[in-house]
Structure 1
Amino acid sequence: MKYVLSFDSDWHAAEKVMTEAGQAYFEETLYETNGHLPGDQAAVQPVFSVDTNDAGIVLILRYLVDYQHGTRVKTALQRKVLPQLNDHPNIEFAIMEVKVFRG
């Protein structure tokens, strides 16, 4: 999952929302379904990263998913995360603004 926030957004709050959703997915789906985790749990844990581009702060959550369920899982995670990000007063998505001047 990837979101681009405005530079003045509270990206730490967005990180918390995203990582909590990723961790919940990990625990509910992988652990409970399989009944056990592989020896190297760090290798299958969700990974969060932060970057920037010209539009704003880029937040990315990567998670392990069976390719057959990728779209379903991403949609379920989006449904959890988007309302929380939208409801947070200090989180704003970056908007690319294009102005056309007529002379």
Structure 2
Amino acid sequence: MASILARISVTVSCGWHICSSTCTSRTRCPTATLYAYTLLQPDAAARLGTVFPILGSPAGLAAEATVCAQLLQTVARGDNLALEDQLRTWAEELRHR
């Protein structure tokens, strides 16, 4: 697991758009998206928070909220149903930040 996250960290810092306060729905944020898809694996999600400190920070809030909202829309269309509970919990956490 750690080696996978290390490789992802290098990839993100070497070319992907990194979460920032400028993230919008047009500039999909890979870090927040990666986090969303690890929500079913709490250990991996927690590890991402240490690898990418932007997650959980005020600067990452816009990206996280955007990704969460987009994925909740896919749930409403019948996709990503396995993530529904975790996405709703994440959305509630984001509302209180």
Check whether TM > 0.5: no
State which structure, 1 or 2, has the greater radius of gyration over its C-alpha atoms. Answer: 1
> Under a length normalisation based on structure 1, what TM-score does the superposition of the two structures give?
0.29
**Greater per-residue strand proportion:** 1
**Greater per-residue helix proportion:** 2
